[in-house]
Amino acid sequence: MKRRQFAAVLGATALPPIGAWPASAEAPSGCGVPMARRDGWAVAAVDGDALVDHDALCRLADRLAVLGDPNVHAVVVARDGKLVFERYFKGADQVPGPMVGLFGPQVKTVAFDADTLHNLKSVSKSVASLVVGIALDRGLIRSVDEPIFNFFPELADLHTPEKDRILLRHVLTMTLGLKWVEAAPATEKDNDESRMHMAADPCRYVLGLTPTAPPGQAFFYNTGALTLVSAIVRKATGRPLDEFARTTLFEPLGITDFEWRRVRGDSDAGGGLRLRPRDMAKIGQLVLAGGRSNDQQIVSSAWIEASTTPKIEATDEQLYGYLWWLGRVNAGGRVVRWIGAQGRGGQYIRVVPELDLVVAVTAGYYQDYSVQAFRTQFGVFRDVVRAAMSSRS
């Protein structure tokens, strides 16, 4: 697919702009000012370069905290390679528990701070894309054009002419062409994701599904694709995906605290990662910098370019690369493109190359697919983009 213009996404479903809300109160002293920590982030001085409209971001955060919102848990903003804003809130979160496999995650009220790990849900998929890129860079995986069954010789009995055309690139673009019912509130008790996790062989479950379209023809969101990705990385590197990620991605980025759940011995690459929001922003900054951090090329610029180039038209007028979402935001009459990792419940990392901007947000809308919930989630991002634009207007 040729590079094309990014479509507008959720343009009519965002929050009213920051300027429409009362600006009566000056930003409280220290509101949202990132603290200098030994985690590799440079911190911008509020009175230094005007990287964002800081007062506007404080009003946004105060509105989220005071007006009975919603369930936004954290907003972290980086610009020009520096942290410029961070704010944490209190809300209901899904936390790991010993009975998660039988009854689902526990829900608890958490007072979030800079050290709190957060459930990233499908943001995990985009992080897994970076891990695949590192394996490709090192020659451990030969090509995205490798037939999928080359990785799974033990599943030879599942071969069909249709399935033999599935390549790794089709897994990475959600275009396998296999029938799949994704987990959502409406399908909570009847979905392939749950059935896959209960199967004796999750990869066999995924590749045993019925073909519905030729591979590469249509986007159909499929968390089962990441079960295949996780197994492929383990087979190619000799280590579970989370362990390979630890030494090749997280440690070079200075990410020392994370959790990545495993299911039947393999990392849950589809949604099992927990990170701090500041570390989510590091992932975004790595993408913004073409795979480079601290004078080290962690992921090749070629993979960053390939994985964030549109490959297929996805949903909600967004496009899709190799496990990365691509869209546009209209903020104050100016339209800019973004690259994003997005997860159920309002988790996202969005990168705006034109503004040298990274936004990381966590939230707790796990069971809320309402229009209002999506307005809040996208509205926070759109208002941060406005604050970045107005700072240099």
Contact 221, 315 (CB under 8 A): yes
- The 3-class secondary structure across 343-385, one letter per residue, is ECCCEEEEEEHHHCEEEEEEECCCCCCCHHHHHHHHHHHHHHH
Cα gap 13→15, rounded to integer Å: 7
Q: DSSP string spanning 201-239?
A: SHHHHHHTSPB-S-TTSS----THHHHHHHHHHHHHHSS
Both ends of the chain: CA-CA distance in Å? Answer: 35
Q: Which residues, 6 or more positions from 337, have their beta carbon under 8 angstroms from its beta carbon?
A: 6, 326, 327, 328, 352, 353, 354
**pLDDT tens across 159-170, in order?**
999 999 999 999
**Whole-Å CA distances, 115 to 64, 109, 120, 240, 308:** 20, 16, 15, 25, 29
Contact 174, 220 (CB under 8 A): yes
Tell me, what's the pLDDT at 344? 94
Q: Nearest Cα to 309, choosing from 173, 125, 216, 170?
A: 173
Largest CA distance in the chain: 68
Tell me, what's the pLDDT at 66? 75
Tell me, what's the pLDDT at 3? 31
Tell me, what's the pLDDT at 11? 36
Positions of the chain with pLDDT under 70: 1-30, 46-49, 67-70, 97-104, 392-393
**What's the pTM?**
0.91
Q: Strand 292-293 to strand 347-352: parallel, antiparallel, or no bridges (unpaired)?
A: unpaired
